[in-house]
Amino acid sequence: MPRRDIPRARLDQPIAPRRLMLRPDYDPEAFGKLSERFARFMGTARFIVAMSAFITVWIVWNVLVPNGLRFDQYSNKFTLLTLILSVQASYAAPLILLAQNRQADRDRVQFEEDRNRNERNIADTEYLAREVASLRVALGEVATRDFIRGELQRLLDELNDRQEIAPSQRTEAEPD
């Protein structure tokens, strides 16, 4: 049986999809920003007041208005309201979690940057401490102003003593 020459796929490249996949294409960054704005809005007093007003109007309307004009005409008068609030909560919870995950990622990156900055600061501080210590050791070996003054004064005194001794030795050595 003859071997067919089938082109071999490269192992360093992914295989192209063989069938058409109908997946929605979206930008994760834009979706994340949208979820953060949504979560931020849901945490405001404006949202709480608006939601409270909406629910209050709904309840008052469905209790006080005649049956033909009610929004929610089911048996307990609030079935549609419950459904609307459940749908809103079912969308709000994942969006809030997505926003929290994005914030946790940003916090983790910021923590790593802070840790790296702190490590560099510690290394710089240790380097400066070693430099200051080496300068102190080097200054200990350097002659200070007081030491030089003392040595010069001692040499001056020694020269003065020699000059006083020298004339007296000359007179004794020279016969008249």
Collect the ranges in the chain with pLDDT lower than 50.
none
**Residue boundaries of the structural domains of the chain:** 28-142
pLDDT at 50: 92
Asked if residue 38 lies in contact with residue 95, where contact means CB atoms within 8 angstroms, the answer is yes
* Cβ-based burial of 99 (10 A; exposed 0-12, middle 13-18, buried ≥19): buried
Rounded alpha-carbon distances, angstroms, from residue 93 to 45, 54, 98, 103, 106: 18, 20, 9, 15, 20
101-112 burial string, b = 16+ CB within 10 Å, else e? Answer: ebeeeeeeeeee
The string of DSSP codes covering 104-148 is HHHHHHHHHHHHHHHHHHHHHHHHHHHHHHHHHHHHHHSPPHHHH
- Give CA–CA dist 108/90, Å, rounded: 28
Q: Over the stretch 107-154, which tens digit does the pLDDT of each residue have?
A: 999 999 999 999 999 999 999 999 999 988 877 777 778 888 998 999
Q: Is the pTM of this model over 0.85?
A: no
